[in-house]
Amino acid sequence: MLNLHHLNSFLVLEQTGSFTDTAARLGLGQSTVTQHIQRLEKSLGRQLVSRDTHHVRLTTEGEALLGYARGMLDLNSKVSSLFGESRLRGRLRLGVSEDVVASRLTGILEDFIRLHPLVDLELTVALSAVLNQMQDAGDLDLVLAKRHVGETHGRLLYREPLVWLARDPERMIDRTDALPLIAFPSPSITRRVAQEALDGAGMSWRIVCTCGSLSGLTAAARAGMGVLVQPRSMAPEGLKEITGDRLPTLQDVEFVLISRRGADAALVEALSSLITAQIAPQK
């Protein structure tokens, strides 16, 4: 009989690709996670993961187990929720800023719907300022978004530097004309920080691409259209950080959780605890 704790470690390892990160997410020692995987492999008589100095990947047998493992844990959660005394029910409306969705949200959502299958979770993705407006109007219960340094709304998760990114940094900063910017539409925190930094340095700029989706902005930056500003840990693949002093230093941003007054406290806390445990700077 397969151990559900071992299967859970296996699923989280597939998400993170790292024994260290898996241990941190589960609150276990790295040796414990290693033992879980080894015992699972021994139970099945198959090698499930391949390891080298840089990466952990699933083998063909591991890929075959993945769907069954999810199904077993989902079924276990549903049975526990059905018969548990403290099962959560209801609707929770979550708002998340675009860049967080692109980098860190999948694992959080998977864990929440597995742990609380009787909760109807609704997700809205938008700019931070738009999410704040929606919450003020009563349309969102919990918001995960950015704020400017010095603002006080929300519960601080962490603070992170913004960086300049481009496909070809040297070509971008050696230009003699206005710096081409790729940015979210207004109101956007990263757009405002970039513009204020350039204005403060007396540098000319122009917007060459505006899009409400980070995937669209990333595509434009990868095509070499211009410079994109993002939190350092959320820099899309294929883009390089522009270092040195040829562009002004950007102000940090802060990531916060904001709950709506009057929202179901138990539902908000259940999701907030997962977000707090898993959202942290990626070094």
Query: Cα–Cα distance between 117 and 89 in angstroms, integer?
Result: 8
Query: Cα–Cα distance between 81 and 27 in angstroms, integer?
Result: 22
pTM of the model as a whole: 0.67
Is the Cβ–Cβ distance between 243 and 164 less than 8 Å?
Answer: no
Q: For residue 126, give the nearest of 180, 184, 179 by alpha carbon.
A: 184
**Phi, psi dihedrals of residue 51, rounded to the nearest 5°:** -125, 140
Query: Cα–Cα distance between 140 and 153 in angstroms, integer?
Result: 15
Per-residue pLDDT at 177: 85
pLDDT digits 0-9 by tens, 181-201: 999 998 899 999 999 999 999
pLDDT digits 0-9 by tens, 77-119: 777 766 665 578 899 999 999 888 766 788 889 888 888 888 9
Residue ranges of the chain whose pLDDT lies below 70: 53-54, 81-86, 102-103, 280-283
Per-residue pLDDT at 192: 94
Is the Cβ–Cβ distance between 89 and 24 less than 8 Å?
Answer: no
Residue located via tokens 């919990």: 142
Cα dist from 96 to 16, 91, 132, 163, 168, whole Å: 21, 16, 10, 21, 30
Show the 3-state SS of the chain. Answer: CCCHHHHHHHHHHHHHCCHHHHHHHHCCCHHHHHHHHHHHHHHHCCCCEEECCCCEEECHHHHHHHHHHHHHHHHHHHHHHHHCCCCCCEEEEEEEEHHHHHHHHHHHHHHHHHHCCCEEEEEEEECHHHHHHHHHCCCCCEEEEEEECCCCCCEEEEEECEEEEECCHHHHHCCCCCEEEEECCCCCHHHHHHHHHHHHCCCCEEEEEECCCHHHHHHHHHCCCCEEEEEHHHCCCCCEECCCCCCCCCCCEEEEEEECCCCCHHHHHHHHHHHHHHCCCCC
Query: Cα–Cα distance between 36 and 9 in angstroms, integer?
Result: 7
